[in-house]
A and B are shown apart, each in its own frame.
Chain A
Amino acid sequence: MIAREKLNELRAKFGPAIQRADLPSDGRLFVFIEPSVVKDVCAHIFRDLDARYVISIGADDRPSSGKFMVAHNFAFDREHLLASVLTYLPAENPKLDSISDVVPAANWAEREIRDLVGIEPVGHRYLKRLVLPDGWPDGLHPLRKDFAWNQVPEGFDEDREFKFDEPPEGCTVVPFGPFHPTLDEPAHFRLYVEGEMVRGCEYRGFMVHRGIEKLAELVLTYNEIPLMAERICGICGCVHNVTYAQAVENAIALRPPPRAEYIRTIMLEIERLHSHLLWVGLACHIVGFDTLFMQSFRIREPVMWIAEKITGNRKTYALCVIGGVRWDIAPEMKAELRAVLDKLEAEWTPVVAAVLKDKNIQKRTRDVGVADRRLVKEMGLIGPVARAAGADMDCRRDHPYAAYDRVEFDVITADGADVWSRVVVRAKEVFESIKIIRQCLEKMEPGPLQAEIRDELPVGRLGMSSVEAPRGESHHFVITGENNRPRRWRVRAPTYQNLQGVPAMIKDQQLADMTISLGSIDPCFSCTDRLETIDLRTKAVKVWSQEELRILTRRAKT
Chain B
Amino acid sequence: MSLLSKLKEAAVCLKAGRVTLPYPAQAQPVPPKFRGRPIFDAAKCIGCAGCANNCPAREILVFDVCQEVRILKYLGRRCTYCGRCADVCPEDAITMSHEFENATNSIGDIQQKLDLFMSTCQRCGRCFKEPSPLEQLKLKGYRFDDLANEQWIFRSQAYLTEEAAVDDVKIELD
**Interface stretch (choices B9-17, B68-76, B105-113, B156-164):** B9-17
Query: Is B103 in contact with chain A by the CB < 8 A criterion?
Result: no
Q: Which A residues lie within 8 Å of B4 (CB)? A: 357
Q: Which residues of B from 17 to 33 have beta carbons under 8 Å from A?
A: 19, 30-31, 33
Contact A309 B54, beta carbon cutoff 8 Å: no
Interface string of A206-243 (1 = CB under 8 A from B): 00000000000011111111011001000000000000
Contact A358 B6, beta carbon cutoff 8 Å: yes
Q: Which of B2, B10, B13, B84 contacts A227 (CB 8 A)?
A: B84
Q: Which of B2, B9, B132, B171 contacts A150 (CB 8 A)?
A: B171
A484 to B143, CA, bound (A): 20
A434 to B1, CA, bound (A): 30
B residues at A contact (CB < 8 Å): 1-2, 4-6, 8-13, 16, 19, 30-31, 33-35, 54-58, 80-84, 87, 96, 132-136, 138, 154, 171, 173-174
Chain B minimum-CB-distance residue to A225:
B56
Contact B171 A359, beta carbon cutoff 8 Å: no
Interface string of A278-299 (1 = CB under 8 A from B): 0000000000000110110010
Most chain-A Cβ atoms within 10 A of its Cβ — which of B9, B10, B35, B58? B9
Chain B minimum-CB-distance residue to A360:
B2
A347 to B12, CA, bound (A): 8
Contact A227 B16, beta carbon cutoff 8 Å: no
A residues at B contact (CB < 8 Å): 148-150, 218-225, 227-228, 231, 291-292, 294-295, 298, 301, 305, 308-313, 316, 318, 321-323, 326-327, 347, 350-351, 353-355, 357-360, 452-457, 483-484
Q: Which A residues lie within 8 Å of B5 (CB)? A: 354-355, 357-359
Contact A354 B9, beta carbon cutoff 8 Å: yes
Q: Which A residues lie within 8 Å of B56 (CB)? A: 220, 224-225, 227-228
Contact A452 B16, beta carbon cutoff 8 Å: no
Q: Which A residues lie within 8 Å of B34 (CB)? A: 308, 312-313
State how many angstroms separate the Cβ of B18 from the closest Cβ of chain A: 10
A150 to B81, CA, bound (A): 24
Contact B8 A350, beta carbon cutoff 8 Å: yes
Contact A316 B80, beta carbon cutoff 8 Å: yes
Contact B2 A357, beta carbon cutoff 8 Å: yes
Q: Which A residues lie within 8 Å of B8 (CB)? A: 350, 353-354
A455 to B33, CA, bound (A): 31
A327 to B83, CA, bound (A): 11
Q: Which B residues lie within 8 Å of A455 (CB)? A: 133
Contact B33 A309, beta carbon cutoff 8 Å: yes
What are 16 of the A-B contact pairs (CB < 8 Å)?
Answer: A149-B171, A150-B171, A219-B58, A221-B138, A291-B13, A305-B31, A312-B35, A312-B83, A312-B96, A316-B80, A318-B83, A357-B2, A359-B1, A457-B134, A483-B174, A484-B136
A457 to B83, CA, bound (A): 23
State how many angstroms separate the Cβ of B98 from the closest Cβ of chain A: 10
A454 and B134 in contact (CB under 8 A), knowing A291-B9, A318-B35?
A: no
Contact A453 B2, beta carbon cutoff 8 Å: no
Q: Which B residues lie within 8 Å of A456 (CB)? A: 133-134, 136
Q: Which B residues lie within 8 Å of A310 (CB)? A: 33
Chain A minimum-CB-distance residue to B154:
A219
Q: Which A residues lie within 8 Å of B31 (CB)? A: 305, 308-309, 312
Q: Which A residues lie within 8 Å of B9 (CB)? A: 291-292, 295, 351, 354-355, 358
Contact B81 A313, beta carbon cutoff 8 Å: yes
Q: Which A residues lie within 8 Å of B19 (CB)? A: 298, 301
A298 to B173, CA, bound (A): 49
